[in-house]
Amino acid sequence: MWNSIKKIIKPVTLTEAWQDKKRNSSFYSGGSYLLADKPEEIETLIDLQELLKSKIFINEDILYLGAAAELQLIMDRLKRELPEYPLIKAIQNSCPSINIRNQRSVGGEIGQNRPSSDVLVFLHAVKARLTVFKEDESSVSIRNWDGKGIITEISLPVKFKSINYQRYAVIPSAPAIVVITGVNFGDNFEFAVGGTADLIQNFQVPAAKWNNEAALSLARTAGANFKEDHLGSAEYKISLLETAFKRTGEVL
């Protein structure tokens, strides 16, 4: 029972939905995070389920995901059409429970903005673009999104010179201490790292300049935002990041 909920609103248009968003209310899509937390201050849910699309399609090497598409649906589709695409693994690891993957929408996953999300780290690395609705629709890189508005669609490239995704977790079902995705865009290597950090960080390094020193320097910069906790000291995490950067760079 989510005691504080008094009202459910089912807006017919995005404009209506956006206008309904007030204090003590929350957008409600898949709801797996929301129902887990059941925040007491929320009294009104704005149900977006019927408003958002869950269509998934690939066109000219771009993968389009309706924001309401559940993680499992995306996985299934990718397994058929792009079995090597590492987003499949990122989804599996982000959310090892198929029960939850059936419910959790990709839009919600992005909206939660959790630095430990393998999916989010992946989307950052490949420079996914979000279609976001505030007063009206606009397109923004996931890296520049301010966290406001309703995400309606996500688009991301599926072809790269090379791509590599790695994670380091105590056991496979545990959230990663460090999760990293590197993409070789030709001239540049682009990395996104997350895990037990305050935020997801993005780095760009000219491909020609990639070496072990670059990996160390990235690890130090990124490490500043990693928290010391029971899984490791800040110092350890920097060393783990260094190894992760090196290994990812090697593959690229």
Partner 1 sequence: MKVSFILNGKPEKADERAGTTLFDYLRAQGLFSVKYGSDRGETGADSVLIDDKIYNSSLLLLYRLENKSVVTLEYFSSGTGIHPLQAAFINEGAIQCGYCTPGLILAAEALLKRVSAPSELEVRQALAGVYCRCTGYVKPIKAVMKYSGSEL
Partner 2 sequence: MKIVGRKTARVDGLALAKGKAVFADDISQKDILYAKFLFSPLAHAKIKSINIKQALALKGVAAILTFKDFPVKYYTTAGQGYPEPSPKDYRIFDDKVRYVGDRVAVAAAESLEIAEAALKLIKVEYEKLPANFDLEKAMDSKVVLHPEKGKTFIFNARKNISANIEAEVGNVEKGLADSKYVFTQRYFTPYVQQAAIEPHITRTWLDENDRLIIRTATQVPFHVRRIVADVLDIPVRKIRVIKPRLGGGFGGKQEILNEEVCAALTLKTGRPVRLEFTREEEFIAARSRHAQFVEFTLGLDEDLKIRAIDLKILQNSGAYGPHALTVMSVTASKSLALYKSPNVRIRADSVYTNLPPAGAYRGYGAPQGFFALESLMDEIAHELGLDPLELRLKNYYKKGDKIAIAEVLGEGREGYPVILKTTGIRQCIKTGRKLIDWPNVQNSKNQGSIRRGLGVATVAQGSGIAGIDMGSASIKMNEDGSFNLHVGAADLGTGSDTALAQIAAEVLEVPIHKIIVYSADTDHTPFDTGAYASSTTYISGNAVKKAALKIRKIILEQGVKILGIEKAGLKNGLVTGADGKSITYAEICTKSFYTDFQLQIQASASHLSYDSPPPYNATFADVSVDIETGFVTVHKIVSVSDGGRIINPQMAEGQAEGAIPQSLGFALSEFMVFDKFGRIINRDFENYHIFTAIDMPEIIVKFVHTNEPSGPFGAKAVAEIPIIGPAPAIANAIFKACGARIRELPITPEKILKELRRNQKKKSEARSQISEVRGKKKSIVRSKKLVEEFFLSIRCTLMTFVNS
- Which residues of the shown chain bind partner 1 in the complex (CB under 8 A)? 1-8, 31-32, 35-36, 38, 45, 47, 49, 72, 92, 96-100, 102-103, 173
Single out the residue of 56, 172, 48, 184 nearest to residue 118, CA to CA: 172
Residue span 197-236 as binding mask against partner 2, x where in contact by CB under 8 A, dash where not: ------------------------------xxxxxxx--x
Q: How far is the CB of 19 from partner 2 (least distance, A)?
A: 31
Nearer to partner 2, 80 or 230 (CB): 230
Interaction of residue 96 with partner 2, rule CB under 8 A: yes
Single out the residue of 149, 148, 160 nearest to residue 122, CA to CA: 160
Residue 175 interaction partner, one of partner 1, partner 2, none, beta carbon < 5-8 Å per kind: partner 2
CA–CA–CA angle 64, 69, 75 (5° rounding):
80
Count of residues of this chain found to bind partner 2 when the rule CB under 8 A is applied? 23
Residue 49 interaction partner, one of partner 2, partner 1, none, beta carbon < 5-8 Å per kind: partner 1
Nearer to partner 2, 12 or 171 (CB): 171
Single out the residue of 48, 42, 12 nearest to residue 28, CA to CA: 48
Residue 157 interaction partner, one of partner 2, partner 1, none, beta carbon < 5-8 Å per kind: none
Q: From CA 71, how far away is CA 133, in angstroms rounded?
A: 21
Q: How far is the CB of 190 from partner 1 (least distance, A)?
A: 30
Residue 228 interaction partner, one of partner 1, partner 2, none, beta carbon < 5-8 Å per kind: partner 2
Interface residues toward partner 2, by CB under 8 A: 1, 3, 96, 168, 170-175, 177, 227-233, 236, 239-240, 243-244
